[in-house]
């Protein structure tokens, strides 16, 4: 029963809250870019995804999935990539549709459950890299995407997939959306919405008459945004339908690949529905770890450590 009850993570004493543990790495961690070789992957529907590689023909490859409104340049992606490279992996980091330097071609963009895009990235990586085993690592929305992918059609996954690790995942999208709508999380919500509004304005110029921008500036939460834009653009009835069909928690019992999820109990983005203790307790493959602290995609180490705890933890799990 892979429920990990005693996590080894302890936040530095000077990072006193989940908010500080979330904000500190985002503001102050600065890393060199290690995934430097760029490639554009043409998709089956006529769109594209921008990839970044760090490769030396090693026998292990890790594919990294970023979070909401992030990209491959995000420090938690580059930090994980650097750690994996030090420990013997090649790395492929990918930008979700519309998250690279250029807007994607189609009206649709990325969303929390777009596993078809992840599948195309995996197949492309397997077609051109000789790695004997391929691991998946995801953060936040990218973690939801990864876990949904592993549990959606487990019998159809490529046999060279080895293990998966995810951090700070909104396993229940409705629950997480309600949590982020709280007054205490207004800073995070507005930061996300600011970027999402900008992308919609670009799309409105690309597709005249297909996106109504009136009132866009007044939207203050994901409920309204997803009702009005995310759901209809991507073929869902409304926000509730989008959240229900794409939350990864329902897919966890079907996972048949060793997989680790780490969600800190003080993560300000996650509500009670985002802690799948029961699923881990009854699974032989899905491992769940809930440190008392860590914030959202935080897990800062002590000042002496070279790696963030999340990087060390991922490598330990993937090394089996």
CA end-to-end span of the chain: 17
Given this model, what pLDDT does residue 2 score?
85
Q: Exactly one of 226, 234, 267, 300 is catalytic; name it.
A: 267
If pLDDT is split at 50, 70 and 90, which confidence band does 1 have? Answer: low
What is the distance between the alpha carbons of residues 66 and 139, in angstroms, rounded to a whole number?
A: 5
- Respond yes or no: is residue 140 known to be catalytic: yes
134: helix, coil or strand? Answer: strand
Residue in the structure block whose two tokens are 């440190």: 291
Residue 5 has pLDDT above 90, yes or no: no
Question: Is residue 226 predicted with pLDDT exceeding 70?
Answer: yes
CB 198 within 8 A of CB 170: no
Task: Render pLDDT for 17-38 as a digit per residue (tens, 0 to 9).
Answer: 999 999 999 999 999 999 999 9
pLDDT at residue 92, rounded to an integer:
98
Are the C-beta atoms of residues 37 and 54 closer than 8 Å to each other? yes
CA proximity to 118, closest of 91, 90, 137: 137
Instruction: Let me know if 267 is a catalytic residue.
Output: yes
Mean pLDDT (whole number) for 249-257 = 98
Q: In the structure encoding, which two tokens stand for residue 216, read together?
A: 């866009």
Q: In order of start, what are the domains of the chain with their CATH numbers?
A: 3-172+247-318 (3.40.50.1820)
The answer to whether residue 296 is catalytic is yes
pTM of the model: 0.97
- Whole-angstrom CA distances from 87 to 62, 119, 240, 294, 311 are 11, 25, 42, 23, 11
Would the pLDDT of 107 be above 70? yes
Q: Which of 66, 129, 162, 296 is catalytic?
A: 296
Residue whose token pair is 């959606």: 152
């Amino acid at each position: 029963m892979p429920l990990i009850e005693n996590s080894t993570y302890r936040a530095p004493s000077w990072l006193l809250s989940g908010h500080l543990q979330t904000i500190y790495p985002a503001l102050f961690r600065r890393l060199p870019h290690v995934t430097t070789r760029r490639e554009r992957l043409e998709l089956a529907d006529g769109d594209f995804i921008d990839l970044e590689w760090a490769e030396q023909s090693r026998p292990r490859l890790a594919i990294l999935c970023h979070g909401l409104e992030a990209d491959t340049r995000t420090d938690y992606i580059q930090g994980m990539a650097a750690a994996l490279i030090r420990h013997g992996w090649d790395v492929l980091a990918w930008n979700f549709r519309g998250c690279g330097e250029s807007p994607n071609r189609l009206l649709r963009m990325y969303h929390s459950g777009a596993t078809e895009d992840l599948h195309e990235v995996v197949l492309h990586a397997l077609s051109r890299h000789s790695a004997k085993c391929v691991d998946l690592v995801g953060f936040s929305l990218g973690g939801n995407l990864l876990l949904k992918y592993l549990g959606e059609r487990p019998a159809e996954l490529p046999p060279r997939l080895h293990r998966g690790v995810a951090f700070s995942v909104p396993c229940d999208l409705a629950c997480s959306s309600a949590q982020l709508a709280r007054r205490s999380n207004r800073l995070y919500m507005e930061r996300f919405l600011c970027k999402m509004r900008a992308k919609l304005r670009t799309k409105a110029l690309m597709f005249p008459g297909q996106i109504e921008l009136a009132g866009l500036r007044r939207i203050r939460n994901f409920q309204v945004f997803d009702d009005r834009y995310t759901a209809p653009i991507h073929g869902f009835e409304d926000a509730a339908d989008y959240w229900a069909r794409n939350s990864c928690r329902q897919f966890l019992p079907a996972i048949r690949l060793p997989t680790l999820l780490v969600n800190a109990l003080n993560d300000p983005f996650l509500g009670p529905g985002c802690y799948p203790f029961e699923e881990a307790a009854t699974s032989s493959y899905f491992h769940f770890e809930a440190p008392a602290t860590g914030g959202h995609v935080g897990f800062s180490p002590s000042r002496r450590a070279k790696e963030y705890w999340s990087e060390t933890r991922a490598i330990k799990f993937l090394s089996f």
